[in-house]
Structure 1
Amino acid sequence: MTDPFASARFSGRWRPYQARVLAELDAHLEDERVHVVAPPGSGKTLVGLEAVVRMGRPALVLAPTLALREQWLDRFREHYGGGGSGERAVAEEAAASGVGAFGAAPRGHTSGVSLREGSASGEVRLSTDLLAPEALTVTTYQALHVAHTSSPEPLAAALRAAGIGTLVVDEAHHLRNAWWRTLDEVREALPGVHVVALTATPPYDVPAAEWGRYRSFCGAPDAEITTPELVRAGHLCPHLDAVHLSTPLAAEQAALDVFHEEAAEFADAFARGPFIDALAEHPWIAAPEAHADAIADDGPEWFVAALGLLRETGRDVAAPAAVLDLAPEDIPPLRMSVLSRILEGVLGPQAAVFDAALGPKSVRELGAELRRMGARVGSRVLLHRPPAVQKALGRSASKMEAVAEIVAFEAAHRENELRAVVLADRIHEEAWASGYAAQPRLGVAPLFSRLRELDAPAATVAALTGQFAAIPAFVLPALRRELEASGARGHLGDRLSAEPQATDRETLRVTLDGAGTGLVGPMTRLFARGEVRVLVGTVALLGEGWDSPQANVLVAASYAATFVQTGQMRGRVLRTDPAQPDKVSTVWHLACVEPGAEDGGPDLATLRRRFAAFAGPRDADPPRLETGLARLGLPSPPFASGDVRQTNARTYEAAVSLGRVRRLWRDAVGDEADGRRLRPALRVPRQRPPVSPRIQIRQRPWTHRYPTGWAAGAGALAAAGAGGLGIAPVLAMALWAGSLGLGGVAAVLAVVERVGRQRHREAVGENGLRLEAVGEAVLSALQTTGLVDARGAEVVVERVGDALDVRLDGADVASGEVFAAALADTIGEAGSPRYLLDCGGAFVPVPDVLGRKKALAETFLAAWTERVGPASLVFTRTPAGRRPLAAARARGAWGLGEIERVRRWG
């Protein structure tokens, strides 16, 4: 087929990071799928268009809204052609798409023009009509879904007739469940079609099934433009991620205390009651060797948890633990989370055993008691953190005061430059009703009212939702002027409604044509000019797509936002503002921590997961960029109220020093020429052995470095003695002196290395050295098998606070990702690897990428034997391999190798 884009040439100049991504894409354009991750402001649409042009086949582009559909067409007209004729009416498209981002689709709108690029002989035709596609057809997901649902065959026939060979899914994180089926069926109807997926925020936190579907369609990310690159180029502003901690209010804490006390009483009664005796007499415990296969096949994790409970009650568990090659000290301590897992087994797979031992009603009554407590949801038992506790902390009213404190602080130090956006999940307008006496819930209306109470002249507050706007009465004249200036003069009195709030006559509830969406533009302009300096809105309305470069503070007051929504919210304040060349933004995250909880509670756990994708500077010497919550320097839980106050005080101190934030970014990102990128690393606890202590790490020979020098030095005697074999004495002496010199240099270098090695040992400890050896074995196997191109690369282990970071230096990002994934498979929780290494009874998973074939696994075995120690290969898909696999799973499931995936700039 003739290339329909043969005449299309990009008329602009690629930014450095765009050029890099396009260069990387050249290796993927012939593949079935190309997946690009790029934040807002990075020119993602242009990168997608260039991919389409380079593929040289008719393309169908799918966007989530009509506004984004038009953006694709506008970008092509602007950068790949200009003018044209042959417009095609698209009333059908507008009707099929329904509504755009903020309202009904415009009727009678036309698009799809033929563009003449360069000369009369070169023409690129555009369309938005699915039944009459052209070289570049752009439509919405909803339009495709409607067309496919109503008439799949005509649609498929039209797309095939047009030769559609490229399918672009823009903002792929938007895809709804119903749309997936449509996309899969459309792709299947187009043989040989290639998929280009573009997104700012992959949906990392969706359920596993949904993530699997996303990755199956889009593929793994092939190229990424990162936020630090945009900050370095001056296309996003330097910014600070700040976490404000709070603790539950007294009434909330009292409710939590009641549950925890009841859970503790339940746990104590369970450990002293008949179930503990039945557990000790369970066949797996009483006769473990006879049931070793059942343990291995059906529940090694439950078995080890049960041993932990029995050990806690003073019973000897050495004999049953030995079935999985575990010592009693290998068994984790009993915690509520471990007891919850035991109870899940008692109520589920092991129920018949306990019913037989204690009577047919015992298990049912146990389950009823847990359900009454609120600790059982479906098949899950959550004694350590029931849904009620999670909800209480996520929606804690303490966050209302946290938002007020943050806004007051920002108003005090930013003064008239303040442009703050506070985003919540819901409106909760009932808080404005007369006689409302309940504790206000976290929402737009209660937050607006609370912020109106602040004694902060710089914080003029307004609220904006899809239903209404709320403004102080003195702002109404400015809003009217803005509406008139924007052309909304006709019958303004009928269209604009402003009613005093029942509980505050100085606050007006404002609508335009009965809704609030028409006020988005005017209110945004008031915000930009500073007539409103704090804008409270919903995540749905202002969290994505809304744009105001003047915004410099975000308070994310959402408890339900997904990872995608959180990333989009951050993007609202990262835009640069030409009027503020020194703009520095602050993004405030809220967390209500649970005093005494080992991990701080579910809010902090959620933040920890989300920060895995947020990169920013760590205040170190020198400063460095990395992802992860640890870069903020928060104390480790559990927390006391004093810890919270001190932590917030340090956060405010950092947030007031905007110049320091700017310098940290400047010093950390470096220059474009240095080639630094976000590269993967693994972070493991420093005090925990990432490799079983029973595995003896092979000591490095003292001659392993500088072998040439050592060989020359060792040959010096032979060279000296050669004179007696007929070589001239002068030549023999010269050889001797030169060889001795090389050996001496090698000795000096070896001493220097030994000193450095000792300092490295002191810095990272024995666990760090063991981790380094395992990393070198993994790297060697990956290099030998050609799975990474990492010539000259080096495994580096570095201490970071209470953890160890291990990364691959001197390799490209793709090789670093493969290495990090393989090392995580080796030292992390064992899933279901095909092969294990038997290291004298301690079992190590062979990484998935090296376990697909026996030859690859044998290469890993050889690398392990050389760099770590002796081992043998175990195939887990046989009866003989079941027990070793169970032992590996049982040991790894308890956090002996806890791993956090981070990325560091380097």
Structure 2
Amino acid sequence: MLVMSRGDDFGAIRFGGTLRPSQVASSTIIRRKLDEGERRLLVVAPPGSGKTVLGLYVWTDLVRKPALVLSPNSAIQSQWVARAEELFELDGRESELSTTGKEPGILTSLTYQSVTMPQPRDEGLDPEAMELWVNDLIDKSEAEDEEQARAWILDLRDSNDEVFNERRSFYRKKVRDDLVAHGNALFVLHSSAKATLSALKDAGVGLIILDECHHLLHHWGKVLDEVRTFLGDPIVLGLTATPPDPTDVDEEDYARYTDFFGEVDYEVPVPALVRDANLAPYQDLAYFVRPSEPEIEYIAGVADGFSELLVDLAKGPGPDAEKNRLPGLDDWLVDVLGSRRLPTGVASSWDAFERRDGALADHGRLYLLRQGRSMPPEVPDPGPALLASPLSETMLMVPLIDRYIRHGLMRSESKADHALAEKAKKQLMLYGIQVTQTGTRPCAAPVTRVLAYSEGKRIALKHILETEMQTLGDGIRAVIVTDFERTSSTALVENVLDDEAGGAIAVFRELLTSEAVDRLDPILMTGSTVLVDDDLVPRLLPRMKAWVDQEQLVVRFEDQVLDGYHRIRGIGKDWVPRNYTRMLTELFQEGVTKCIVGTRGLLGEGWDASRINVLVDLTTVTT
């Protein structure tokens, strides 16, 4: 039987409302599990089902001990305290609700980052990082033994210290992650995280609520297992709407997650929530748009640059170039294949060369044949199977360009070769291929960006909102979600996409061009400011000032008039995302504004606004 402290510590603190049927069912299971001595609980419930109230009810009415709530972002962090103040009887102890780790209270709501932040510098991990780097080179057959691997690393340091430092940082992080995974998590934490944990321990935390706990698959999960032990093994309640799928995540991470929580203790059924009118049924709709003519032309012509890249790499530096320049791709391949030279040293035989880098051996010979070049001495001709392989030009050339960049240009003593390597890497990124320090991997291609941030999407958005306004009338509450406040999408697609295409600011400006949509009085929530439709400012700004005064926050507002809208910026120590997100959400709920534009970082996971009836997703997920 669990012994709970129900005496003077918590007095008359309790839930002041009525639980929903799903919350009654969940809390009944939790109460029984606690009585049976369970200390780690996991509840799965869909968005909007009342997970926050459930967690707070467990705190006030079941466990009744100081609680720590951890959330993935500051918007969710503030919602926990707001719900506690709004719906719970706190017996005059509202001042003991905290959102800072420096002064924990009876309920302390923080972000995961605040208690898991690692040390900023890892110089002390260099010996282990170097050993890991050496072993990695040997495992990937880029070196035959430790001596070759260390020679490869030292040569990289001497020829290109920027790349060397990047790789060293990578292996430092791997060492740090390994320390965390094997019980040394607190050792690698930042001093501020350690101070927060010490303060929480002194506060006597008896309950940890992990909101959106599916995030505990990686670094946060590795650290929090030790945090739980450090805090004296308090009760842990995990809440999530999206438990991890074992087929989509790393096996080791999933095993750690399930070991931490065990089986799901209760899963709230969606049909029951809809039946009880606590969750609205919804319908997914897709709106297909056609790219603009400039966008279509760009997509159609994007392949031409690959041929130009091959010409640039093959022709070499020319007769007037400095002597330490690398030869062109064709001559470099002849030299590498003929000498069997790899960054880790010369292979003892062709078979050894082929074992260490089969792609270079096979693709290099095929390329030379297609170029009409003879095989270097002692290099065998490709066999029938290799000759019959249906390799496109791109499939053939990408491994060769990758090796030419990493093994040749980037290791050259010539700064001009380094510049050519960067040029080639940028060109490959146009085709969705990124050259890293260890090889190639897929990346976002500009064609994908053009489709994701097409001008047609913004035009369609106005039509969608105009249609919904006709259906919903004054009750409409629309939310537009984008990837970012501003995008740098034009960096790789200049003269194709508008400046800031796809960003929240561009979407907001587009809405103001529609006379009908303008009547929604749209606002844009950014990371630090609020953009407001000019018609709304006389009504919104006084409400914002009144809200700040009511919450006793230290904030003053600056109002800047722009072209058709205003930029309102808050100044003061309390102008932080968790406060202004809550303020604007409440004003949206009331209908002061009927349309919010924002990023998925602010309006995504865990953001709570029950009046939404139109959601338009403009993120790349929908492309």
TM-score band (shorter)?
0.5 to 0.7
Describe the superposition over 1:710-748 as per-residue Cα deviations: whole angstroms up to 9, x where unpaired: xxxxxxxxxxxxxxxxxxxxxxxxxxxxxxxxxxxxxxx
Match of residue 827 from structure 1: none
Map of 2:516 onto structure 1: 456
Answering whether residue 223 of structure 2 is matched by residue 189 of structure 1, we say no
CA contact (8 A) 1:423 1:536 kept: yes
SS of corresponding position for 1:456: helix
| SS of the residue 1:234 aligns to | coil
> 1:405: Cα distance to partner?
3.5
Q: 2:240 aligns with which of 174, 186, 199?
A: 199
Alignment of 1:7-86 (within 5 A): 15=21, 19=25, 34-45=41-52, 48=55, 60-64=67-71, 67-70=78-81
Is 1:378 aligned with 2:432? no
The 3 A distance-change label for structure 1 pair 537 and 409 is same
Matched, 1:404 2:445: no
1:243 is paired with a residue of what secondary structure? coil
* Further displaced range: 6-15 or 545-554: 6-15
Partner of 2:610: 549
Tell me if the contact between 1:61 and 1:170 (Cα under 8 Å) persists in the aligned partners.
no
Alignment partner of 2:516: what SS? coil
Residues 669-720 of structure 1 show CA distances to partners (whole Å, capped at 9, x for unaligned) of: xxxxxxxxxxxxxxxxxxxxxxxxxxxxxxxxxxxxxxxxxxxxxxxxxxxx
Residue equivalent to 1:236: 279
TM-superposition CA deviations, 1:75-102 (whole Å, max 9, x none): 9x95xxx7768x59749x566469xxxx
The answer for the alignment partner of 2:4 in structure 1 is: 4
Deviation at 1:4, TM superposition (A): 1.4
Q: CA deviation at 1:411?
A: 3.4
Query: Is this contact kept in 1: 2:479–2:612, CA < 8 A?
Result: yes
* Within-5 A mapping of 1:633-644: none
Please tell me whether the aligned partners of residues 171 and 199 of structure 1 are also in contact (alpha carbons under 8 angstroms): yes
Most deviating of 60-69 and 27-36: 27-36
- In 1, Cα distance between equivalents of 2:196 and 2:559: 47
Partner of 2:509, secondary structure, is helix
Q: Tell me by how many angstroms 1:215 deviates.
A: 3.7
Residue 306 of structure 2 is aligned to residue 263 of structure 1: yes
- Residue identity in the other structure for 1:442: G
Taking structure 1 as reference, are residues 293 and 409 closer, same or farther at Cα in structure 2, changes over 3 Å only? Answer: farther
> CA, structure 1 residues 152+339, in 2 after alignment: closer, same or farther (shift >3 Å)?
same
Q: Does 1:150 align with 2:195?
A: yes
Deviations 1:423-447 (A, max 9, x none): 33444599xxxxxx97453334332
Q: What is the match of residue 129 of structure 2? A: none
Task: Specify whether residues 483 and 365 from structure 1 end up closer, same or farther in structure 2 by C-alpha distance, changes over 3 A only.
Answer: closer
Instruction: Tell me what 2:398 maps to.
Output: 340
Cα distance in structure 1, aligned partners of 2:361 and 2:267: 43
Structure 1 position 462, deviation (Å): 1.8
Q: CA deviation at 1:452?
A: 1.8
How far apart are residue 238 of structure 1 and its match? 1.7
State whether residues 34 and 195 of structure 1, in contact with CA within 8 Å, keep that contact through their aligned partners in structure 2.
Answer: yes
Deviation at 1:251, TM superposition (A): 4.1
Q: 1:451 to 1:229 in 2, by over 3 A?
A: same
Tell me the amino acid that sits aligned with residue 534 of structure 1: C
- Structure-2 separation of matches of 1:525 and 1:74: 14
Query: What SS does the corresponding residue of 1:244 show, helix, strand or coil?
Result: coil
Report the Cα distance in structure 1 between the residues aligned to 2:52 and 2:297, rounded to whole angstroms: 52
- Percent sequence identity over matched residues? 21
User: Is residue 37–residue 198 contact of structure 1 (8 Å, CA) maintained in 2?
Assistant: yes
Task: Please give the root-mean-square deviation of Cα atoms over the aligned residues, in Å.
Answer: 6.4
CA distance in 1, matches of 2:256, 2:331: 48
Pick one of 428, 435, 443 that aligns with 2:503.
Answer: 443
Instruction: Encode CA deviations 1:318-341: one digit per residue, 9 max, x unaligned.
Output: 6579xxxxxx7xx77648467535
1:44 shift after superposition:
2.4
Residues 102, 199 of structure 2: 8 Å contact kept: no
Is the contact made by 1:412 and 1:458 (CA closer than 8 Å) also made in structure 2? no
1:172 is aligned, of 192, 213, 220, to 213
Alpha-carbon spacing, 1:259–1:414, altered in 2? closer, same or farther (3 Å): same
**Quick check: 2:529–2:568 contact (8 Å CA) kept in 1?**
yes
Contact kept? 1:420, 1:534, Cα under 8 Å: yes
SS at 1:460's partner residue? coil
CA gap 1:420/1:51 in 2 versus in 1, 3 angstroms = closer
Q: Which amino acid aligns with 1:549?
A: S
1:229, CA displacement in angstroms?
Answer: 5.5
Count of aligned pairs between the two proteins: 485
Q: Conserved in 2, the CA contact under 8 Å of 1:90 and 1:128?
A: yes
State the partner residue of 2:321.
Answer: none
Matched to 1:261, the amino acid is D
Contact 2:465 2:517 in 1 (8 A): no
Q: Secondary structure at the match of 1:422?
A: strand
**Rounded Cα–Cα distance in structure 2 between residues aligned with 1:158 and 1:479:** 40
Which residues of structure 2 form unaligned runs of 5+?
Answer: 117-190, 315-328, 341-348, 373-380, 489-496
- 5 Å-filtered alignment, 1:401-440, equals 401-427=459-485, 439-440=499-500
Answer whether contact 1:248 1:393 (CA < 8 A) is retained: yes
CA distance in 2, matches of 1:88, 1:416: 36
C-alpha displacement of 1:451: 1.5
How far, CA to CA, are the matches of 1:90 and 1:544 in structure 2? Answer: 27
Counterparts of 2:279 and 2:361, CA distance in 1? 52
SS where residue 612 of structure 2 aligns? Answer: coil
Give the superposition deviation at 1:553: 1.1
For residues 400 and 262 of structure 2, the distance between their equivalents in structure 1, rounded to whole angstroms, comes to: 36
Aligned pairs for 1:71-110 within 5 A: 90=96, 96=101
Equivalent-residue separation in structure 2 for 1:89 and 1:509 (angstroms): 33
Which amino acid is the alignment partner of residue 554 of structure 1? L
1:263 positional shift:
1.6
Give the unaligned 5+ runs of structure 1: 99-109, 112-126, 130-137, 284-289, 322-327, 431-436, 560-588, 592-906
Contact 1:421–1:554 (CA under 8 A) maintained in structure 2: yes
- Once residues 18 and 309 of structure 1 are traced to their aligned partners in structure 2, the CA distance between those partners, rounded to angstroms, is 69
Preserved contact between residue 477 and residue 588 of structure 2 (Cα < 8 Å):
yes
Residue pair 1:421, 1:551 contacting (<8 A) in 2 also = yes
Helix, strand or coil for the counterpart of 1:407? helix
The separation in 2 between residues aligned to 1:180 and 1:450, in whole angstroms, is: 41
Preserved contact between residue 259 and residue 373 of structure 1 (Cα < 8 Å): no
| 528 and 56 in structure 1: CA distance in 2 versus 1, 3 angstrom threshold | closer
Deviations 1:499-529 (A, max 9, x none): 542x33xx44455768798876776566556
Whether the 8 Å CA contact 1:397–1:439 is kept in 2: the answer is: no
Rate the CA distance shift 1:382–1:49 in 2: closer, same or farther, 3 A.
same
Shift of 1:239: 1.5
CA distance in 2, matches of 1:44, 1:307: 61
Q: 1:53 to 1:370 in 2, by over 3 A?
A: same
User: What is the CA-CA distance between 1:463 and the residue it aligns to?
Assistant: 1.4
The change in CA–CA distance for 1:400 and 1:187 in structure 2 (over 3 A counts) is same
Aligned partners of 1:445 and 1:463 also within 8 Å: no
Residue type matched to 2:68 in 1?
V
CA shift in 2, pair 1:207/1:390, >3 Å: farther
Larger RCO of the pair (alpha carbons < 8 Å, separation 6+): 2
* Residues 1:337 and 1:154: Cα distance change in structure 2 (over 3 Å): same
Alpha-carbon distance in structure 2 between the residues aligned to 1:463 and 1:201: 30
User: Aligned AA for 2:616?
Assistant: V
